[in-house]
Amino acid sequence: MLLVTTIIFLMMAAFGAAAVVALFWAARDGQFKHMETSAQVIFDANEPVGAVTDSFPPSQKKTSKTASKEKQS
């Protein structure tokens, strides 16, 4: 049981320390600076702010109509 208790306490210490280290690293690395602009990192030139990137697939009827229109033109 002593071994298990030791492992558990070591794990607690390691994970607790990891959280503190992560917080300090984030602060030192500037992760908490310019926070409003940081929210935009998921956008880029191809998918800029304002571009909607998901929609339902078109219905079959619509697709066949569009295809026939394209053929006619």
CB-based contact 40:49 (threshold 8 Å): yes
Binding of other proteins at residue 59 (CB under 8 A)? Answer: yes
- Binding mask of the shown chain, residues 1 to 40, with x at each position contacting other proteins by CB under 8 A: x--x--xx--x---x--xx---x--x----xx--xx-xxx
Measure Cα distances from 37 to 4, 33, 40 in Å: 46, 9, 6
Closest CA to 29 of 37, 21, 18: 21
- CB of 21: closest distance to other proteins in angstroms? 11
| Residue of 13, 43, 64, 65 interacting with other proteins (CB under 8 A) | 43
Q: State the alpha helices, DSSP H only, in 1-73.
A: 2-28, 35-38, 60-72
Residues that bind other proteins (CB under 8 A): 1, 4, 7-8, 11, 15, 18-19, 23, 26, 31-32, 35-36, 38-44, 46-60, 63
